[in-house]
Structure 1
Amino acid sequence: MSALASSTLKFALPFTLLASSALADVNVYSYRQPELIAPLTEAFTEETGIKVNVAYLVEGLTERLKAEGDRSPADVILTVDIARLTEAVDAGVTQPLMTDTLAKNIPAEFHDPEGNWWGVTTRARIVYASKERVPEGAVTTYEDLADPKWKGRICTRSGMHTYMIGLTSAYVVHHGPEETKAWLQGLKDNLARRPQGDDRAQVKAIWAGECDISLGNTYYMGEMLADEEQRVWADTVRLDFPRFDVEGGGTHVNISGVALTKASRNKEEAIQFIEFLTSHHAQEIYAEANSEYPVVPGTEASDLVKSWGELHPDNVSLKQLADERPDALRLTEEVDYDG
């Protein structure tokens, strides 16, 4: 039996090998970690008998699809952040998909109007605050992060990272480029150190006393609590859910999402898999495994996620975030945020 006979590949295999898979299989390119995808693919195979082969990529997903062209074995891409989904669509490596099931299950704000991509979970970008050094209620808005009272007390990852650019894009939507630039400069002035590491590294810095608050995605708390070493860091912080200080403003959210590739050879099976991801069963599995929020109405987040606090999502659409991304990148460069 070949390696592709298993329901999920634990590591990225040569793409020529993936191309030899049976027509009844679904081939997925994913940036998401194997342990987060396996429960979904196994449940789908159990329910339908269709095998799922996943190639796990660290970077270059869109570039890989462009290079492979019509010969690509991939049927589906599964990735995070509206920017990465939009990148794939703009590169012409996906195709529109619209079915009654998808339109019924996924609210309009969580999918492309033309069906080029579909959200499957959401995550909030919130504040991790030191339980010892930051009183509850001290951070209530994103605007407040630029207040000089936080000077030398904030840690973040690179301002050019897609998660940070997403938040900055939302700021542009609410306040315009000029105010966003001033906010970025104020945030930079309040940094305790040069931006570095991922979101978990910022929580570690809080634990080490290097800073008092940081920006991070909610699901990282779940990942840290599941790790013996990182649980110590997680236990020192609290999740605060800031909002934009504007009418209708809420906590910034982004998505993990899925799209059908332009070169899909197993389209019928791929559509079944994508629709499965929007079922209540799959939403519960995915949200539990990822410590994220389901997008399908009527599906609850896990008890762990609900214990962090109530989420009031921002009213900025994902399309607006994508449209403002160029301005967000430009403004981040202009203030030399990472310098």
Structure 2
Amino acid sequence: MMKTILATSIATGLGVWAVQASAADAELNLYSARHYQTDEALYSNFTKQTGIKINRIEAKEDELLERVRNEGANSPADVFITVDAARLAKADELGIFAPVKSKILEDRIPAHLRTERWFSYSTRARVIVYNKDMVKPEQVQTYESLADPALKGKVCTRSGSHPYNLSLGAALVRHDGVEATENWARNVVANFARAPKGGDTDQIKAVAAGECGVAIANTYYLARIMNSSKPEDKEIVERIGTVWPNQKTWGTHINVSGAGMLKTAPNKGAAVKFLEYLASDEAQAYFANGNNEWPVVASVKVNNPALDKLGAFKADALPVGELAKTAAEAQRIYDRAGFR
């Protein structure tokens, strides 16, 4: 179903991108695999400031990419936005993105968080969550430590085929090599408390309940629970601890939310304006405060109690484009290791 956000005003001050939309670029067709209610304000604000109407189709990544393939050169899509570097890389491998040259994007988005064809706009970290009664924090200071035989029967995880875990596996391949990553994966599987199932929130709850002693989860799932006023969520927070992995080596693995302009975009001017808008201070604040993600623009202030409580950390600086190159290898490693 096409969702349309109508313009309510014309921008008079959007900084360097405040350009009145021309008749040819008075609308933007957005294919979005982000499903967060807080993004509504993000999109409507763009319309208010530029006068560009957004026509939005929301679906799962695979569905949207299949739609783009079927539409071919006649696709109305201008911008594709989704979460996870592996998914963005998959879209890029299909050849749907066009190179975008923008000084605004180059100046505001760090080089390791963008490619020539797609750009990261927010980050989330993949942290280790542990049960305070079952595991000591010094036991799980790295991702590699999850393969330690001392954790046998204590590790919970979602499916190895999920892009979040594939991206982590891709990072491990880049940092530790194929052989070491495969040994790691086999030993992690040997440490499973149960077969992989559910999402990251399910892993956090399983750790709190003592079903397992340790799990990996994206920070925005954790922050949702930390910011909750529900008694059951407060109880979960009391029972678990969090570790920033690999602080003494290559840093905690981060993943991204990002977007790119399609080669066949009929409204290329509007598409570039939108990509530049997502890097604005205002849009970056929506990502951080609305969905518990970190902005990619370093100067943007974050006003989020849970993220503040989690504190500062050393993040992996591996370029997102490099990460994408080993995602397929990570899947083959997981398959051989029985991590499904």
Q: Distance in 1 between matches of 2:327 and 2:298?
A: 28
Q: 1:23 to 1:233 in 2, by over 3 A?
A: same
Paired letter, 1:290: N
Please say if residues 155 and 213 of structure 1, whose CA atoms lie closer than 8 Å, have aligned partners that are also in contact. yes
Aligned to 2:35: 33
What do residues 195-247 of structure 1 show as CA deviations (whole Å, max 9, x unaligned)? 0111111112123221011101111113334664872544532321111764x
**Secondary structure of 1:216's match?**
strand
Correspondence for 2:240 among 237, 242, 246: 237
Secondary structure of 1:124's partner?
Answer: strand
Q: 1:207 — aligned with what?
A: 208
Map 1:123-162 to 2 at 5 A. Answer: 123-162=124-163
Q: Distance in 1 between matches of 2:264 and 2:3?
A: 23
The aligned amino acid for 1:84 is: R
Alignment of 1:134-283 (within 5 A): 134-225=135-226, 228=230, 231=233, 232-243=235-246, 246=249, 249-283=250-284
Distance 2:240 2:322 in 1: 32
Report the CA distance between 1:67 and its aligned residue. 0.8
- 8 Å contact kept, 1:95–1:262: yes
Q: Which amino acid aligns with 2:72?
A: G
What code does the residue aligned with 2:75 have?
S
In the alignment, the residues of structure 2 paired with residue 277 and residue 36 of structure 1 have an alpha-carbon distance, to the nearest angstrom, of 14
**Who is 1:57 aligned against?**
59
- 1:73 maps to what in 2? 76
What is the aligned-residue RMSD (CA, Å)? 2.1
Q: Tell whether 2:110 aligns with 1:102.
A: no
SS at match of 2:326: helix
Q: Does 1:334 align with 2:336?
A: yes
Q: CA offsets per residue over residues 50-80 of structure 1, 9 Å max, x none?
A: 2222211124222211111122121111111
Change (3 A) 1:3 1:37: closer
1:4 aligns to what? 4
Of stretches 65-74 and 182-191 in structure 1, the one that deviates more from structure 2 is 65-74
Shift in CA distance, 128/154, structure 1 to aligned 2, threshold 3 Å:
same
Deviations 1:125-179 (Å, cap 9, x if unpaired)? 1111223433344321111111011111110001111110111111111111111
Distance 1:158 1:328, change over 3 A: same
Opposite residue 148 of structure 1, the aligned amino acid is: P
2:316 & 2:26 partners in 1: Cα distance?
Answer: 40
| TM-score, reference length from structure 1 | 0.88
**Distance in 2 (alpha carbons) for counterparts of 1:308 and 1:195:** 26
Cα shift readout 1:16-37 (whole Å, capped 9, x = no counterpart) = xxxxxx9512111111114032
- Between stretches 103-112 and 305-314, larger displacement belongs to 305-314
Aligned residues: 320
